[in-house]
Amino acid sequence: GAGVSQSPRYKVAKRGQDVALRCDPISGHVSLFWYQQALGQGPEFLTYFQNEAQLDKSGLPSDRFFAERPEGSVSTLKIQRTQQEDSAVYLCASSPTLGNYNSPLHFGNGTRLTVT
Amino acid sequence: GQNIDQPTEMTATEGAIVQINCTYQTSGFNGLFWYQQHAGEAPTFLSYNVLDGLEEKGRFSSFLSRSKGYSYLLLKELQMKDSASYLCAVREEDDKIIFGKGTRLHILP
């Protein structure tokens, strides 16, 4: 079956450019998470959604980062005026029903962003 | 505040046993996950613990002590393909899932 799909797989942006990263979760999955992973580090929480509601965005590094999930399915992470420190792998993960605490996250393959 | 600690790197020998520890201090607790991540790949789910005790799944076992804020992942009969990073993650009471920095495990022949 289809897993979590992220696009693009790789993105090279010039400093100051805006980028948009897309995540297609597993169909029917209620929860959707975004993480930022630097080389050799664990995934750092950015934000998460339950359906279309963004429940926590405390991990977004600055107001240049914005995430949305308008119809409770596909999500987009937008980074405005990219900086070199934004270079990382951006991972999206989804999870099925609410309150089912043993439901693991299913990860996409990530988008590797390089800002030059 | 939130804090999940695990060793940065470990080395073990093929065929041996290794234990990777994780301690946590988080805002509420709704379970602890272990994930495996090979270089350049997405994390994959290994185990989930919410009650104290040991959960065994083949060569991998995971232990939890909620009162101590402590978990470990035990890998037996190590194989070269077990060389990877192992990530400890906690689901907090608001459903947010946060990860430790990961433990890179090197297996020597």
pLDDT of residue B52: 96
Tokens coding A55? 């429940």
DSSP string, B32-77: EEEEEE-TTS--EEEEEE-SSEEEEETTEEEEEETTTTEEEEEE-S
Which chain A residues touch B45 with a CB distance below 8 Å? 104-106
Q: Which residue has the higher pLDDT, A40 or B1?
A: A40
Alpha-carbon distance B31 to A31, whole Å?
16
SS3 content of chain A, % helix, strand, coil (to 5): 5, 45, 50
Is the confidence at residue B81, as pLDDT, over 60? yes
Residue B96 — pLDDT band, cuts 50, 70, 90?
confident
pLDDT at B95: 83
pLDDT score recorded for residue B1: 52
CB B56 within 8 A of CB B84: no
Chain B CB contacts of A102 under 8 Å are: 31, 48, 50
List residues of A whose CB lies inside 8 A of any B CB: 31, 33, 35, 40-45, 48, 50, 55-56, 91, 98, 101-102, 104-110
pLDDT at A64: 98
Average pLDDT of the residues of chain A = 94
pLDDT bucket at A98, cuts 50 / 70 / 90:
low
Q: Which of A42, A56, A106 sits opposite B96 (nearest CB)?
A: A56
Across B28-46, average pLDDT: 94
- Within 13 A of B24's CA, how many CA atoms are on the CB side? 31
Q: Could you tell me if B8 and A40 are in contact, meaning their C-beta atoms sit under 8 angstroms apart?
A: no
The 10s digit of each residue's pLDDT in A45-74 is: 999 999 999 999 999 999 999 999 999 999
The C-alpha of A86 sits at a distance from chain B's nearest C-alpha, in angstroms, of 18
- % of chain A at pLDDT higher than 70: 95
Question: What are the φ/ψ torsions at residue A84 (nearest 5 degrees)?
Answer: -60, -35
Q: Any idea what the Cα angle at residue B29 is, between residues A63 and B105, rounded to 5°?
A: 80
Rounded percentage of chain B residues whose pLDDT exceeds 90? 87
Q: Cβ contacts of residue B61 below 8 Å, gap of 6+?
A: B47, B54, B55, B73, B74, B76
Sheet with A75-79, side-by-side order of all strands: A5-7, A19-24, A75-79, A65-68
Report chain A residues whose CB lies below 8 A from the CB of B91. Answer: 101
Q: How far is B109 from chain A (nearest CA, A)?
A: 23
Size of chain A in residues:
116
pLDDT, mean of residues A35-49: 95
Q: Which has the closest alpha carbon to B69: B102, B27, B104, B101?
A: B27
Enumerate the β-bridge partners of residue A20.
A78
- What H or E segment, with its residue span, contains residue B84? strand B84-91
Region B1-10 average pLDDT: 89
Residue A84 carries which DSSP code?
A: G
